[in-house]
Structure 1
Amino acid sequence: MAASPHERPPEHILEDLDANPDGLTSEEARRRLETYGENDIVRGGGRSPAEIFIAQFDSVLIWVLIAAAALSIWAGNAVDAILIAIIVVANGIFGFIQDFRAERSLEALRELAAPTATVRRDGDTREIAATELIPGDVVVFRGGDVVPADARLLEASDLEVDEAALTGESVPVSKSTATVESEAPLAEREGMVYKGTNVTRGKGRAVVTDTGMETAVGAIAHELAGTEETRTPLQDELDQLGRTLGLGVLVLSALVAPLLLFRGTSALQAALTAVSLAVAAIPEGLPAVVTLTLALGVRRMSAENALVRRLPAVEALGAVDVVCTDKTGTLTKGQMTVSKLWLNDAVVDLESATDEPTTRSDREDLLLEIGVCCNDSTLEDGDPTEQALLEAAANRGIDIEKRRAEKPRTDEIPFSSERKWMGTVHDDVGYVKGAPEVVVENCDRILTDDGPVELTDDRRARIEETVQAFGDDALRVLAMAYRDEPADADDLNDGLTFVGLSGMIDPPRTEVADAIAATIRAGIDVKMVTGDNVRTARAIGESLGFGSAVLEGREIERMDEQTLRERVASVDVFARTSPEHKVRILRALQDRGHDVAMTGDGVNDAPALKNADIGVAMGIRGTDVARQASDMVLLDDNYATIERAIERGRAIFDNIWKFVAYLLTANVAEVAIVFIASLYGYLILPAVQLLWINLLTDGLPALALGADPASGDVMDRPPRDRDQGIIGRQILTLIAGIGTVTTVVLLALMFYTLEGAASVTPYTMTMVFTSFVFLELVGLYVIRWLHETPALSNPWLTVAVAMSIALQLAVLYTPLNQYFGTIPLELADWGLIAVVLAVCLPGYLAVAAFVKRRHR
């Protein structure tokens, strides 16, 4: 519409839409449907399963491996080609499974819409498909309905709507036909209802203002459709590693093959050497092992109530340095609870009450009884505020059903947003509960220990001060009053006796304060981003250790991007935020170089969840839209689970770092040995042996690294800098140091065992091959020592190493040796291998000690 419908009277909106309060004609509705289109969320385009599978092979590493397989077939080495093909296909399947389960946010948004709507057409009320609604239609709804489109209220009777999915408000909001200022956030637009929200009580009639993609939900769908998938640091680093290694292989092969041909080597031998160099250089097991390591972490995290939807998100948690968290249900319990009662200057703290429930005073008993009898809900179902009153009464020893039976209701005045109070009549007494400013206005006495006395101006002032103090503590306040012997409900408009106040809150989870403190100790800033009002946000924030500075949504709207970037660093609490505000806050933090985890549960959170480095949705309170847009789902909706997930993510990154360090130090040594030996005319390690080394040592042992326990300081160090990445100075130093030691010693072993032979003998090949396997296993434990991981702390690794040794022995002492070109070794040969290990181990430890001292 041209103007914001919430700021204009209903009759003006009807005029703008050329609509009638009694609805459109069928003919006009058909015409408008052709103009506006269906009231539906447009489905976004997606890739077919075949396209997803083919995309898994769009990698330099994969291309080089496929080329190596083709060369192996040309050279007659079918075994090499088969092994390479198995690795390539396995990696493709892993990636396909993850991508196929990815983004479905727009489909979830479509399911959010109401399937049918009750509408006025041709002067009659009828039910139609919600997709057929158009601007100008007049719809009616009542408690239990889903709002079918954005609409301006024409009538509202006791109407309350749960808008948590769009606003984050923890309780349903009252609706009326009132107008509000144009800049009012969605949560304060009392005269509007929005597509996909739920009517919890009352009834209403409204004229449709927006449908389909023009609704508030549609705006979110627009943003989701235009948002690209956020890549994690690990994904970027692995891609960069693949490009670097792929380029290196091509350059190396381009240098070696002509050199060998120039030296008189046959074309077949040159091709075999090129294949061996490619296999030696490429960490073909890296994608699979990283995927499996992340999957193991996902399984562990799911047991701790954190369900990860995208595997790379696990390690990305290790780089997070800001957590933006919602309040309702994440920091708080997500349910209203009566925490304080005020009875004429006497405060009853129900959260810390230690006395027996049966010791309650007469005034407390009456206050709780009013909350029980002037109440339309049950403990199992109904309005959250009324359920909180019932819960408080039950906890204080009141039998709800018995008390209601003793006080049967004979008349009532239901709650309405205009009246702001509810009244019931029970034979000889009338009970009233409602907004303090209204209830107190209708009272002329107040109940004290000595009975009712006059409600003086001084006493009214004290009530007002208490309401203000409760509000400062984020309490929602209800006033309770009674009247003796009312003739009917109409007598409850005045002459009441004030009993007291009931203060309720969605209380913070008991474990959250410690979890936030632990997160901050880990060098991570925590910021609350909520749709609640400033007073509630500030009070909850201060109780959990946040700063007192609060930035409100309407202030954000007045800021340009530069100003907001400067402010976000110093503000820990953001109140009355809209979907656009949350995304702007997120981008301002990212523009400052932060890796941000964003939590949320509503439809309004979906754009921020998808744009965040890590999107964290709620599993219990969360909408399907939020869950589909997220990287991780909290099954218990608890912030403390985020803190545990971050710890797990850091530990997983440490284990991936160990594996990458282990793999690259070995692969660089393999390349160096094959390259240098080829310059002397020797093909010391053919492709099949190199593949076996990589599968044997980089397979089970590397996978078992995923089960390594977290180091003791994992949450006492700052987040890792994603710009430094895995391939940093530590790994480069290890590659240079350990790779050099391995290359020098194994080349010495080669020349020693060759004894001047013109070509590589099976004995020399077997000695170098076997020594390499054992040296890689030794190097694995040295790298774990670098991270202060005890040698025997991981039983899975011990089993994996034992199995690798057994498999290597099988290659030497079973008929398998004919496929690998090896021969059985004698006892003296094992003595020589032991000497090789004894020479290399001190060198490995010296390199690791240097790295540990220099870089940690």
Structure 2
Amino acid sequence: MGTDPQKGLSKDEIVQRQAHYGPNRIRSVHKEKWYWILFRQFTDVLIIILLIAAAISFAIGEIGDAVTIMIIVILNGILGFIQEYKAEKAIEALQKMLSLRCKVLRDGEKKEIDSTKLVPGDIVFLEIGDKIPADLRLIEAVNLKVDESALTGESVASLKNIKAVPQKSALGERSSMAWMGTNVVNGYAKGIVVATGMQTEFGKIAKMTSEVGSTQTPLQKKLAVLGKKLGIFSVAIAAFVAIIGYLLGKDMMEMFLTGISLAVAVVPEGLPAVVTITLALGVKAMVRQKALLRRLQAAEALGSANVICTDKTGTLTQNQMTVQKVWLFSGEIDVTGSGYDPKGHFEKDKKKVDYKKRQDLIELLKTGLICTHAGLTREKDAWKITGEPTEASLIVAAYKAWLTPEVDEKITTEFSFNSQRKRMSVIVQEKGKNIAYIKGAPEVLLERSNYYFDGEKVQALDAQKKKAFEDAYSQLARNGLRTLALAKRVLPKGIKLDADAVENDLVLLGVVGIIDPPRPEVHHAIQTARTAGINVVMITGDAPLTAMAIAKEVGLDARHGITGSQLDTLDDDALKNAIHEGAIFARTTPADKMRIIKILQDEGLVTAMTGDGVNDAPALKKADIGIAMGMRGTDVARGAADMILLDDNFASIINAVREGRRQYDNIKKFVTYLLSSNIGEVIAIFVNILLGGPLILLPVQILWMNLVTDGMTAVALGMEKAEKGVMHRPPRASSESFLQYRGIIMIILLGGYIGGATLWIFHHYLSSGLPEAQAIGLAQTAAFTAIIILEKMNVFNYRSLHAPIYTMGFFSNKWLIAAWITTVSLQVAAVYVPFLQEALHTVPLGWKDWLLIFEISLPIFVVTELYKITEWFLLKSKNAHTEKEGA
């Protein structure tokens, strides 16, 4: 790097390198401008059709229609824009994380500078608590441990040294490197900056995150297809009718207006607004499930998810190291509780152990409490640690036996831990004696021990006991636990107080098994996901043994583990098979996570990805639905995600899936409802033209129906509660069409009845014997009112596409009742309020007219409900018969 380790870079060299490399910050490679986000709100096919309809209405002098359409379009665009405006925050979050100062050696002087001014070749000093400001090659390292979980996913702090490692080593195995954005938790060091800004590993992830394109949700894709089909159909039928009418001798302008009326009738103008409003209301519902949505369609996408790819550290686990097992020569003891909260006790064979009667347990816990640099304090309602998490876990275990660190003040000598010694010792004066407390790697302490403590007295360590000790720590390691042995020695008088003399002839106390424990609620959440047909795949940067242990504990069907290096040797087909065979992925890089998600998406699977670290950000953005942890997650992960879990609870994902499925079901209900209403309008207009009658519905009346009255009831349908069994069915196939056979039949039959009944009432008043102008006015008003009342009765049919209304409760959706009353009241106003009469071309109706309208409207609900009840009882009878045969 062309630098002097004793003096650092010169001032002139720094200026040259700053000019060449630029500032040490993360640049925004691609950031979507606000005006593009706003513009995107008006690119939907249905919106474009509405804009064309508004332009035509304006051109032919229908200013009111044009203004009404534009108001709806603009409101829809504003709603979408507000929700998506904060969608591109990942890069700003990265920059925010790097706003720090650091200590460097320049011109032979130690200085503190802004980290953005670092250049390759700078000498940087690191101390405990520092955030590493750039990628460093270490040239000095004393007991240096770095928490790299945000970058690699490794739950245990990485021990660093200055030895060279193979060039192709995995990121987490490069022990001579310290990476930008990670944290020093122990020791101190000095390193040379080898990469800054976008050239760091942190920067590469930022670049990968920003270059991942946005993914359309299944609903967006299906509504886009539906919109195109409706657009083609509306233009085709409008042209066909206009041409047929003109050939039958109708006035050209009248046929042009009729064609526009039909085009407007085919397209549910309120649909984009209703979908947007429903999803916006869904955002509030998700917050109640502890999930914050950053993108409107995220909930619906989660409801469609086939696969949840989950990180382990901090997502399935608590990211808090915990002593789980204690092996003593008198037997193994389980430690309850988790994390840094010292609630918990000791038990054997599920029975509580009285620690006061177990002197061997007390001695082991006391050793772990004294021989440490970590600390544990209570701040407000939470326990916080200082120092290395593994050491802190020993303090927490000691607190569970009500031991206190009072002896800390009497420590006279310490021999520190390093990668060569693999042990740490402290010497304490107790009752006039010097006692050494030691912890370290089990195999190292075993070599230096000649005795063991059985709980009553010190015994000679024979071959049998050595074998028992070896078997114990090997078994703990195979179960994915990190192992630490503990020992002590009462030092003879006159002994030389150096490491080699003190750390021999030890009394071995036992070994502890430490793990980052799973969250208690995760097991149930995974079982619920399985019931709902959702596969959960673990992808972590942690060690394979640890990953497998956690996978089994939380109930994942994990049959084998694949590391990142092994993954590189698999082609796409082999990787696909491995995923389906229950593989978990360990020691993975951000690129590995991206590849796994791409494989799943190529299979047509809707994929969710959870994570909390910087290393998860690209995969979070690539996935159909990225889910970041809100409490423990980094700003980068939250910025790249579609959804943020406010309580970091994996179970909240499953609650969000349930809410997503409810939203999709409801969107499907009101889309089908709107289409059946619009088909009714098309049938009434089209058949009436063939019959040679005057216009049955005016364009402005159609807009009133589609935008005002239909929209309100459709939004209320979107508030319908989840139906029973919503989490006992598999996710929707991505190839499944939005409108299925049953929905299409309902649209045709119910739309046909609406159209036929409207036609009948129109011609009933048209042939009433009144003067022509009066008869047409009354007939149009009656048809206009009848079609709205028919649609309001029809809305109850769509509260469920299968279940009869009594199974849900007629008044259970209060929003729908309120919307029904409001829209019927609006129609009453349209008939009797003078300025609305003028705008909508209506005349007053008598009470007999209203009675007739309700008489022809009631059957659409009653007949459909009778069919559902019959079907419901037949299905229940069939299921009961099947259960009886099974029994």
Aligning the two structures, in what range does the TM-score lie when normalised by the shorter sequence?
over 0.9
- Tell me which of 490, 504, 527 is aligned to 1:494: 504
Between 720-729 and 141-150, report the one with greater CA deviation: 720-729
Report the counterpart of residue 517 of structure 1 in structure 2: 527
User: Is the Cα–Cα contact under 8 Å of residues 532 and 729 in structure 2 kept in the other structure?
Assistant: yes
Between 754-763 and 76-85, report the one with greater CA deviation: 754-763
Q: How many Å apart are 1:418 and its aligned residue? A: 3.0
Report the counterpart of residue 387 of structure 1 in structure 2: 392
Question: Is residue 799 from structure 1 mapped to residue 784 from structure 2 by the alignment?
Answer: no
User: Is the Cα–Cα contact under 8 Å of residues 372 and 404 in structure 1 kept in the other structure?
Assistant: no
User: Is the Cα–Cα contact under 8 Å of residues 524 and 718 in structure 1 kept in the other structure?
Assistant: yes
Q: How many Å apart are 1:240 and its aligned residue? A: 1.9
Q: For 2:599 and 2:848, how far apart are their aligned partners in 1? A: 67
Q: Secondary structure at the match of 1:379?
A: strand
Q: Deviations over 1:14-50 (max 9, x none)?
A: xxx3443232333233333333333332213434333
The amino acid across from 2:565 in the alignment is: R
Q: For 2:14 and 2:38, how far apart are their aligned partners in 1? A: 45
Report the counterpart of residue 789 of structure 2 in structure 1: 774
The amino acid across from 1:37 in the alignment is: G
User: Is the Cα–Cα contact under 8 Å of residues 340 and 349 in structure 1 kept in the other structure?
Assistant: yes
Question: Is residue 306 from structure 1 mapped to residue 291 from structure 2 by the alignment?
Answer: yes
Question: Is residue 672 from structure 1 mapped to residue 683 from structure 2 by the alignment?
Answer: yes
User: Is the Cα–Cα contact under 8 Å of residues 412 and 428 in structure 2 kept in the other structure?
Assistant: yes
Q: Secondary structure at the match of 2:787?
A: helix
Question: Is residue 604 from structure 1 mapped to residue 615 from structure 2 by the alignment?
Answer: yes
- Tell me which of 625, 631, 646 is aligned to 2:636: 625
Question: Is residue 404 from structure 1 mapped to residue 407 from structure 2 by the alignment?
Answer: yes
Q: For 2:781 and 2:112, how far apart are their aligned partners in 1? A: 81
> Where in structure 2 are the equivalents of 1:360-371 lying within 5 Å?
360-371=357-368
Gaps of 5+ in 1: 1-16
Q: How many Å apart are 1:672 and its aligned residue? A: 2.3
Residue 814 to residue 654, structure 1, CA distance change in 2 (3 Å): same
Q: Secondary structure at the match of 2:376?
A: coil
Q: For 1:46 and 1:509, how far apart are their aligned partners in 2? A: 36
Q: How many Å apart are 1:839 and its aligned residue? A: 4.3
The amino acid across from 2:109 in the alignment is: D
User: Is the Cα–Cα contact under 8 Å of residues 303 and 656 in structure 2 kept in the other structure?
Assistant: no
Q: How many Å apart are 1:261 and its aligned residue? A: 4.2
User: Is the Cα–Cα contact under 8 Å of residues 71 and 271 in structure 1 kept in the other structure?
Assistant: no
Report the counterpart of residue 558 of structure 1 in structure 2: 569
Q: Deviations over 1:487-511 (max 9, x none)?
A: 6463432222111112222112222
Q: How many Å apart are 1:461 and its aligned residue? A: 1.9
Residue 410 to residue 712, structure 1, CA distance change in 2 (3 Å): same
Q: Deviations over 1:74-114 (max 9, x none)?
A: 44433322221210110111121123221222222222325
Report the counterpart of residue 373 of structure 1 in structure 2: 370
Between 194-203 and 96-105, report the one with greater CA deviation: 96-105
Q: Give percent identity, aligned residues only.
A: 41
Question: Is residue 88 from structure 1 mapped to residue 73 from structure 2 by the alignment?
Answer: yes
Q: For 1:690 and 1:740, how far apart are their aligned partners in 2? A: 17
The amino acid across from 1:599 in the alignment is: T
Q: For 1:139 and 1:206, how far apart are their aligned partners in 2? A: 5
Q: How many Å apart are 1:251 and its aligned residue? A: 2.4
Residue 404 to residue 807, structure 1, CA distance change in 2 (3 Å): farther
Q: Secondary structure at the match of 1:410?
A: strand
Between 631-640 and 271-280, report the one with greater CA deviation: 271-280
Report the counterpart of residue 413 of structure 1 in structure 2: 415
Q: Deviations over 1:103-162 (max 9, x none)?
A: 222222222325333222223222333233333332221112221221211110111111
User: Is the Cα–Cα contact under 8 Å of residues 793 and 858 in structure 2 kept in the other structure?
Assistant: no
Q: For 2:861 and 2:40, how far apart are their aligned partners in 1? A: 43
Q: For 2:649 and 2:576, how far apart are their aligned partners in 1? A: 29
Between 320-329 and 92-101, report the one with greater CA deviation: 92-101
Q: For 1:772 and 1:404, how far apart are their aligned partners in 2? A: 86
Report the counterpart of residue 158 of structure 1 in structure 2: 143
State the TM-score, normalizing by the size of structure 1: 0.93
User: Is the Cα–Cα contact under 8 Å of residues 789 and 854 in structure 2 kept in the other structure?
Assistant: no
Question: Is residue 583 from structure 1 mapped to residue 580 from structure 2 by the alignment?
Answer: no
Report the counterpart of residue 11 of structure 1 in structure 2: none
Report the counterpart of residue 9 of structure 1 in structure 2: none
Report the counterpart of residue 777 of structure 2 in structure 1: 762
Q: For 1:610 and 1:286, how far apart are their aligned partners in 2? A: 28
Q: How many Å apart are 1:533 and its aligned residue? A: 0.9
- Tell me which of 234, 255, 266 is aligned to 1:270: 255
Q: For 1:741 and 1:20, how far apart are their aligned partners in 2? A: 89
Residue 850 to residue 213, structure 1, CA distance change in 2 (3 Å): farther
Between 612-621 and 389-398, report the one with greater CA deviation: 389-398
Report the counterpart of residue 3 of structure 1 in structure 2: none
User: Is the Cα–Cα contact under 8 Å of residues 131 and 184 in structure 2 kept in the other structure?
Assistant: yes
Q: How many Å apart are 1:258 and its aligned residue? A: 4.0
Q: Secondary structure at the match of 1:375?
A: coil
Q: For 2:181 and 2:31, how far apart are their aligned partners in 1? A: 24
Q: For 1:360 and 1:245, how far apart are their aligned partners in 2? A: 79
> Where in structure 2 are the equivalents of 1:526-537 lying within 5 Å?
526-537=536-547
Report the counterpart of residue 668 of structure 2 in structure 1: 657
User: Is the Cα–Cα contact under 8 Å of residues 559 and 581 in structure 2 kept in the other structure?
Assistant: no
> Where in structure 2 are the equivalents of 1:329-478 lying within 5 Å?
329-351=314-336, 353=347, 354-355=351-352, 359-380=356-377, 381-382=385-386, 383-398=388-403, 400-401=404-405, 403-404=406-407, 408-427=410-429, 428=433, 429-478=435-484
The amino acid across from 1:30 in the alignment is: V
Q: Secondary structure at the match of 1:666?
A: helix
> Where in structure 2 are the equivalents of 1:684-703 lying within 5 Å?
684-703=696-715
* CA-based RMSD: 2.4
User: Is the Cα–Cα contact under 8 Å of residues 144 and 184 in structure 2 kept in the other structure?
Assistant: yes
Q: How many Å apart are 1:358 and its aligned residue? A: 5.6
> Where in structure 2 are the equivalents of 1:4-15 lying within 5 Å?
none
User: Is the Cα–Cα contact under 8 Å of residues 608 and 623 in structure 2 kept in the other structure?
Assistant: yes
Q: Deviations over 1:302-346 (max 9, x none)?
A: 122111111101111122111111112221222111122111141
- Number of equivalenced pairs: 836
Between 568-577 and 268-277, report the one with greater CA deviation: 268-277
Q: For 2:5 and 2:401, how far apart are their aligned partners in 1? A: 50
